[in-house]
A and B are shown apart, each in its own frame.
Chain A
Amino acid sequence: MTTQPPNAGTQATADAEPLWQLVPIADYRLPQTPAAGAARARWASLRRLFAPRRKAPEAPARTEADLRGLTPQRLDALAGPVDWTAGAAALDQQLGEDADGVWLLIGPPHSGHGALLHAWAAGRGAQPIEPPGDDAILSGDRAWLDAWPRDARPWLLPRLEQCWLRHAAGLALVRALLTQAQAGRLGHGIIGCDSWAWAYLRQVAALPTRRVLTLQACDGEGLATLFRALVAAHVRRPLRFRHAHSGKPVLVVDGAEDAAGATELQYLAARCRGNAGLARALWRSRLRAEPDADGEDAGTGTADDGTSIWVAAATEPSLAAGPDETVALVLHALLLHNGLPGPLLAELLPLPAFRVEGVLQRLAAAGAIAEAPAGDWRLTAAGYAPARDLLKAQGFLLDDF
């Protein structure tokens, strides 16, 4: 649990293009994969096909054993939580004069669009609305909808993905909600929705095509700006983030740039499909330091004396599904609902509960999913990209991001 306040640097990038741009979803542009990165990804995919557990033979500049993980405090100083005040301001700007009615903000998992909406709601005094319970969804109970706030204040429904269930009886309530929202009977507010739920709801309900926004994709340059802004003010500069495999700088804060770093960040941006929140989570998980001479973790105490932080090679959990579709079914259900508790997941899938539990445990052990304190299983940042690849290969419905 981190206690440090969000880094303020993400608010102002006065001399450059604003970091957070909200655009209609049709205008979302995926960052390009660098040619070397694309070839590397294809080669890795081919290698997985023939020899799933074969290790790369190259000798890295620093092996994982040479490096130590950083403490949460140190990680917060180097890649802390994003301050979404600037994002909320961008949202306000986008709403502009057309602030009446219902707007939607769509974002992929880990993108941080929920946090952005909460920052917006805090600034505008908007009233947050909790999603209905599972029983209300399955019984089609309209009490939740009838109790919608009718005052002049704007409202915020941050998680539309939790207002429905992929069940024959689980769609009526969300259809009624969307119908009323489009008819203008719900007043002024914003609905946040996960991109996977949005892709599914598009197939099963009449969705608005206007007033639907998303955060524009971040390319490598955008990530460099974000990661620099996330470094806390008290961290000593210049600070070099160096790749543990090649030894080359990936990112330099207040120092001379290196072209090699741009490629690495562009590859990260492409792998994350422009999802800045996901890229930040992966970046944070890869940061390492060399242990001090006395054996103490460089992430503690006076670690700012060092000018190099090592960026470990990207690793992704192996899902190794093979011809068995069970893993894909579980991952897809989790993504569509942006997390589900185990018992409810077993109800929604045509699989025995013990089998679902087994798959959940296997995926958790691989690091692809994690159980939230509330009991919901969600995909981890590291597990998201391979899960999407797996679902794409098996022909499942995908999101647009």
Chain B
Amino acid sequence: MDRDIASLFKHLDTSALLDLALILAAATALIVLLQKTLPWLANRLRGRRRHWLLAMVPLLRLIIIVGAFLLALPKVIEPSFQNMVAVLGSLGLALGFALKDYASSLVAGIVAVGEAPYRNGDWVEIDGVYGEVTHVGVRALQLVTPDDNLVTIPHQKLWDEAISNANNGQPQLQCVADFHLHPEHDGARVRAALYDVALTSPYLAFEQPIAVVAQEQPWGTRYRLRAYPIDARQQFRFTTDLTLRGKAELLRLGAAFAAASPAPDPSPPPS
């Protein structure tokens, strides 16, 4: 039996070892180069070109890894169908038992490259963490949150967590500024004023729609001003700009803000 398994593998002489070392070194160098240069270049660009370049990183890395694996495999085993099934099957079984979560994340990483639920440059929320995807690795992705924290999340979350992607590969994403007004006010004037607040923001992407949504509440009226900034990275500055200038404009119009916090739901009557 041992002899059968041993016969699958080639005798690794110095030349074969050298080839393997070269393949490994070249693949590693290429991946490191790729992961350094493309984000560097992308961060000097804006809009679609930046997102496209960032999104290319994991795909190109996967291609390099698969290429290196295919080059290395014939150096180690005889490349017949039976040998491949035997070795890869054993490898899969070992990984499945010993490194189940790790292997799951690796597979999810491959799926993530294909399905692209997140790419570099996207703003996503996974498991309650919101931030910009800065690195899609083999096993995990990295987010930078608005508080400038780096969060590493395994791709495994892909299987059972909802992934909310705010811009989905596009340079723009929707921002919302909330205003809570006293019920007695001229709604039409407020809507027109908030629309102008968005139109006069220096961050506004004009090709995207603007919407003012009003919702009547027991404590007053809630207005939501929805608009898109030019670049997703401007979202917090844009929302702040809309909020501050919106508030100033509403005060100028004489609108009163709702002073009390929303009342809690009344407890169910005793049966």
Interface residues of A, Cβ cutoff 8 Å to B: 49, 166-171, 203-204, 322-323, 325, 329, 332-333, 348-350, 393-397
Q: Does B125 contact A (CB under 8 A)?
A: no
Cross-chain contact A395 with B47 (CB below 8 angstroms): yes
Residues of chain B within 8 A (CB-CB) of A329 are: 202
Bound Cα distance A393, B43 (Å): 12
Residues of chain B within 8 A (CB-CB) of A203 are: 199, 206
Of the candidates A168, A170, A394, which one forms a contact with B193 in the assembled complex, judged by CB atoms under 8 Å apart? A168
Contacts A/B (CB < 8 Å), 30 sampled: A49-B44, A166-B202, A167-B200, A168-B200, A168-B245, A168-B246, A203-B199, A204-B196, A323-B43, A323-B44, A325-B231, A325-B234, A329-B202, A332-B202, A333-B202, A348-B202, A350-B201, A350-B203, A350-B237, A350-B240, A350-B241, A350-B244, A350-B245, A393-B45, A395-B46, A395-B47, A395-B171, A395-B230, A395-B231, A397-B206
Bits for B227-251, please: 1 = Cβ < 8 Å to A, else 0: 0001100100100110011101100
Bound Cα distance A166, B43 (Å): 29
Residues of chain B within 8 A (CB-CB) of A332 are: 202
Q: Does B30 contact A (CB under 8 A)?
A: no
Bound Cα distance A203, B208 (Å): 11
Q: Which 6 A-B pairs have the closest CB atoms?
A: A168-B249, A350-B241, A395-B230, A168-B196, A168-B197, A166-B200
Of the candidates A49, A348, A349, A394, which one forms a contact with B46 in the assembled complex, judged by CB atoms under 8 Å apart? A394
Bound Cα distance A381, B37 (Å): 35
Bits for B157-197, please: 1 = Cβ < 8 Å to A, else 0: 00000000000000100000000000000000000010011
Min distance, Cβ A171 to any Cβ of chain B, angstroms: 6
Q: Does B3 contact A (CB under 8 A)?
A: no
- Residue of chain B at shortest CB distance from A165: B200
Bound Cα distance A384, B239 (Å): 30
Interface size bucket, B side? 20 to 34
Number of A-B residue pairs, CB cutoff 8 Å, is: 57
Chain B contact residues, majority secondary structure: helix
Bound Cα distance A300, B237 (Å): 54
Of the candidates A171, A323, A396, which one forms a contact with B196 in the assembled complex, judged by CB atoms under 8 Å apart? A171
Min distance, Cβ A30 to any Cβ of chain B, angstroms: 21
Residues of chain B within 8 A (CB-CB) of A397 are: 206
Residues of chain B within 8 A (CB-CB) of A166 are: 200, 202
Min distance, Cβ B89 to any Cβ of chain A, angstroms: 48
Residues of chain A within 8 A (CB-CB) of B252 are: 169
- Residue of chain A at shortest CB distance from B252: A169
Residues of chain B within 8 A (CB-CB) of A333 are: 202
Min distance, Cβ B197 to any Cβ of chain A, angstroms: 5
- Which residue among B200, B203, B231 has the maximum number of chain A CB atoms within 10 Å of its CB? B200
Residues of chain A within 8 A (CB-CB) of B196 are: 168-169, 171, 204
- Residue of chain A at shortest CB distance from B249: A168
Residues of chain A within 8 A (CB-CB) of B230 are: 394-396
Bound Cα distance A49, B237 (Å): 26
Q: Does B205 contact A (CB under 8 A)?
A: yes
Bound Cα distance A130, B45 (Å): 42
Residues of chain A within 8 A (CB-CB) of B241 are: 350
Min distance, Cβ B47 to any Cβ of chain A, angstroms: 5
- Residue of chain B at shortest CB distance from A325: B234
Bits for B38-53, please: 1 = Cβ < 8 Å to A, else 0: 0001011111000000
Bound Cα distance A398, B230 (Å): 13
Residues of chain B within 8 A (CB-CB) of A171 are: 196, 199-200
Q: A168-B245, A350-B203 are in contact. List 17 more A-B contacts (CB 8 A).
A: A166-B200, A168-B196, A168-B197, A168-B200, A168-B248, A171-B196, A204-B196, A204-B200, A323-B43, A323-B44, A350-B237, A350-B241, A350-B245, A394-B46, A394-B230, A394-B231, A397-B206
Residues of chain A within 8 A (CB-CB) of B47 are: 394-395
Residues of chain B within 8 A (CB-CB) of A396 are: 230
